[in-house]
Structure formats: structure tokens, C-alpha cells
Amino acid sequence: MSYTIRLKSGLLGLLTAALMLILAGCSRGQAGTVSSPQAAQEAFPVPETVTQLTRLENTLGDQEGVYAFEEQVNGMMVLTYYDKTAAVSRPVCMREGCAHNSLDCPACYSPTEAPRLFAYNGCLYVLTQGIGGFCLYRQDLQGQERTEVMSQEDVTPFSETIEGSPAGEYFDGLSLYICYQFYSPRDTAAILKISMSNNPKTNHNLLYSWREVYLRPAVRMFGPVVNGKILLRDSMEELLLLDLDKLEKSVLNDTEEPTELLELPIEGGWLHTVWDRKGYFAEYDYEKSAWQLTLVDMETGVQVYHLDTSGYDVGLDTYPIECLDMAILQGQEGQSWLADWETGELKELSLVQWRGDIKETILPLAQCGDEYLVKVREELYSNFQINPGGDISTEPVYQGQYGFISVEDYLAGQPNYRIIQKAG
């Protein structure tokens, strides 16, 4: 059954005409494509634009809804919008009769390309990283087409970046930064800067960090954003903050020092996760058979508290907490604990789902105002495949059902989900 979402009445309805003008740059499809009358009247909402350096994630949301990638039975990743008010989801595709199951659909992406999202100038962008390098797409928010803005092939003078491993993607509201790590023969890193205000295919440059003495020893990790700078770990296990503006000036005139060494009072352990200028350093205590966590203020170097996980039988799992105020400790039997950032108190998360005979904690995928977007449960399908010899093989495939839940109910373990109905 075909179903579409109408824009909310009232103020949003009055803004529809203005929104269409803003989206004009995002609405143009391929030459000769004619939008349907339905698509001309409706559009997906424009997400909030980033105005400070932020690491890209595979979700993007605001108070009204969330853009995220939903895995289909055939493995395809479908860019989907989850409307908070209506509790309805739909692929970012308004083509009549589209099944959203192939790369011909403007909302479909390969699962091997690690798609990331950001918004700029009233448009939604998707950055993919695959074996052949990166590709940058602009999504048509009327859901008819998507446009390739730039790809690895356009970085002709710097094609060796394809030899590096993608190590982080960042956006500051004006420019996109793609970081690479090289293990051989250079054993260091490079950063590609793509300015979005003009034609990205020509308005970009590569910051050859290996040419600069101050970035040796080699960069081993590009991490979260701390105080508006990228957190680095080098091959000496030192933590540094990289100022991208100073790095660019240093490449030009070699007068600016772009890195700042973090001298934190940590004798051992490794940086587990960072959020809001604070970081957990983790070290395993073999005598206690438990992890020891130390929360440190990354700005001042002051230790906030020490957390001993003895008696909890936990492992560690890094959680994307750039957008969620959470530090998750994973248990051996599918349970998880939330570490309170202020006190260090561990609270077991009681909302779980089963994936076959495996129990998993339900973790938030994104925050939308006062609610979390979660995958409520997995539904099991059998994927039939006819082999060349004629025999049939089956492979279990799990497809999720999604819902919204208030932050209060989630933390209290109350399964008061608003199940999201699929449309389109």
C-alpha cells in the first residue's frame, strides 16, 4: 500500500513554500528527470546545520526527527527519515513504485561503503568510504534523485590518498575534512580538505601531514573532537590536539605549530571514550580481574574520579557518544551498564532484545529531543539463494523494528515504546 507523510499544519505548513525555495539546490535530479506532482508538493525536512567542528556519524537528527541508515533483508543500507511526531519512517525516496532494494534507488547505499551524514546550506549530504575511495552525494530532499558531488577520482593530483585507510571524517560547517592513515611506506597520515561553498571538485586541497616534522612520530588514531580540535594518538602513545586551521597555515608558511600535547596525569591505560571534554582511560587489573576506569577532564587534566568495575564482569565497548551522553560497559552475557558521567555510578540497562538465542541490550541509535530512537527488536527472515549446482541454501537475516522512547523511560527500564510505522 502506498502511503505518504504530509507536512504538519500550522506554522510548518505556512513555511512549506519557503522551504521549497531553500531546497531548490537539492531538488535537481539528472538531466531530463521530471518530478511527480506529489514530490513537488512534499519534501523531507532540512536537518540542522553544523556550525562547529564535528565528527561525522551515520545518524543525523534534531528535535523533529532523525536520518539514519536502515539495513534491509538484502543487506542494502537505506537512508531513512524517522519522524518523531508522527512515529512514521520512510526512505528518502519518493519515486512511485520504488522497492528501495537496489542502488538505482536514491536512498540505497552499499553496506560496505560506511556512509556518514552532514547538512550544509539547506541540503543533506552523504559521504561514503569504500575500497575505491570516497564519494560525496547530495540528497534530493524531494526524494527523486541524488547527485554525486565529488569522488576520489576528482582528487587527481593527490590520488595516493586511495592507498591510505580512512581514519575519520569531520565537518566544521564550511569545509569537509577526510583523514587518512598510511602504514607503508610513509607510516603516517594526511588530511583532505574539501570546501563546500564552491565547486568541491576543484575547491579542495590535501594537507600532507607527513611533510611536517611536528606530526612525527606517525599518527595512529584520529579521534573525537575536544575543544574544537581533533584528538590524535601518535606511535609513541602520546595524545595530542590537532588544530586544522593552524595545520593549513603551517603547510603554507611553516610558522604555526598545529599540535598541542595533552599532559594528563595518567600512569597507564588507554583512552576508551570521550564526551563533552571528558575522557575515560581504561586499564585492566589482572589481580582484581576487572577494568579500572579513570575519568579525566581533557581540558584541565584534572582527574574527576576512579571507577573500579570489580564484581560486574564487564568488558568494554566504545559507543558513539559524540551525540549521546553515554558511556557503555558491555557484559559477557549480553547485559550492559551505563556509567554516570558525574558520579561514576554503574546502572544496568534492563531493556533487551533477542537476536536468535543471543541477548542484546537495546542501545539508543540517536537522540531526538527528549526521546531516543532505538531498534526495539529483530525479526528473523530466511534469505533463500539458488547456488550454481541447483541446490538451495538459506541464511538467517535479521531486520529490525524501530521505535521512539523517552529518555526517562529508557533509563528507568520501562518499555514504553512508540513503534514506528513504515511508509513509502
**Residue 3, pLDDT score:** 27
Q: Summarize pLDDT for 134-154 with one digit per residue, the tens.
A: 899 999 999 999 999 998 888
Cα–Cα–Cα angle for 316, 229, 190, nearest 5°? 90
Phi, psi of 327 (to 5 degrees): -125, 120
Q: Could you tell me which of 198, 212, 199, 206 has the C-alpha nearest to residue 240?
A: 212
**Residue 249, pLDDT score:** 78
Listed range (110-114, 277-281, 383-387) with the worst mean pLDDT: 383-387
Stretch 164-192: mean pLDDT: 82
Greatest pairwise CA separation for the chain in angstroms: 70
CA distances for 341 relative to 96, 224, 305, 361, 364, angstroms: 47, 17, 10, 20, 17
Residues 6+ apart with CB under 8 A from 124: 26, 44, 46, 47, 60, 67, 92, 117, 138, 139, 141
Q: Per-residue DSSP letters for 105-167?
A: STTEE-GGG--EEEEETTEEEEEEEETTEEEEEEE-TTSS-EEEEEEGGG-GGGGGGGGSEEE
For residues 290 and 310, is the Cβ–Cβ distance under 8 A? Answer: yes
**Does the pLDDT value for residue 109 go beyond 90?**
yes
d(CA 410, CA 303): 29
Domains delineated in the chain = 155-263 (no CATH), 264-349 (2.40.10)
Q: In this structure, what C-alpha cell is assigned to residue 257?
A: 605549530
d(CA 339, CA 327): 5
Quick one: pLDDT band at residue 82, thresholds 50, 70, 90? Answer: very high
**Residue 10, pLDDT score:** 38
For residues 124 and 137, is the Cβ–Cβ distance under 8 A? Answer: no
- 322 or 1: which carries more pLDDT confidence? 322
CA distances for 157 relative to 32, 95, 161, 291, angstroms: 33, 38, 10, 47
**Residue 24, pLDDT score:** 45
Residue in the block written with cell 514504553 = 416
**Does the pLDDT value for residue 258 go beyond 70?**
yes
Q: Highest mean pLDDT range out of 106-110, 233-237, 254-258, 322-326?
A: 106-110
Q: Summarize pLDDT for 369-410 with one digit per residue, the tens.
A: 899 999 987 666 566 666 666 676 666 666 678 999 999 999
CA distances for 154 relative to 140, 190, 326, angstroms: 22, 17, 39
Quick one: pLDDT band at residue 156, thresholds 50, 70, 90? Answer: low
Q: Is the peptide bond preceding residue 106 cis, with omega within 30 degrees of 0?
A: no
Q: Per-residue DSSP letters for 248-277?
A: HHHHHHS----EEE------S-EEEEEETT
Phi, psi of 159 (to 5 degrees): -65, -15
**CB count in 10 Å sphere of residue 79:** 26
Listed range (34-38, 269-273, 352-356) with the worst mean pLDDT: 34-38
Stretch 354-373: mean pLDDT: 86
**Does the pLDDT value for residue 342 go beyond 90?**
no
d(CA 166, CA 150): 16
Share of the chain above pLDDT 70, in %: 75
Quick one: pLDDT band at residue 312, thresholds 50, 70, 90? Answer: confident
Interior/surface letters 301-338, b for 16+ CB within 10 angstroms, e for the rest: eeebeebebeeeebebeebbbebbebbbbbbeeebbbb
**Does the pLDDT value for residue 332 go beyond 80?**
no
Residues 6+ apart with CB under 8 A from 287: none
Count Cα neighbours of 206 within 13 Å in the Cβ-side half-sphere: 18
Stretch 306-314: mean pLDDT: 86
Cα–Cα–Cα angle for 394, 354, 361, nearest 5°? 135
CA distances for 155 relative to 135, 193, 202, 206, 257, angstroms: 11, 11, 8, 9, 27
Q: In this structure, what C-alpha cell is assigned to residue 300?
A: 584541565
104-110 long-range contacts, CB within 8 A, separation 24+:
105/78, 106/139, 106/140, 106/143, 106/144, 106/145, 106/146, 107/78, 107/79, 107/80, 107/143, 108/76, 108/77, 108/78, 108/79, 109/69, 109/76, 109/77, 109/78, 109/79, 110/76, 110/77
**Residue 162, pLDDT score:** 55
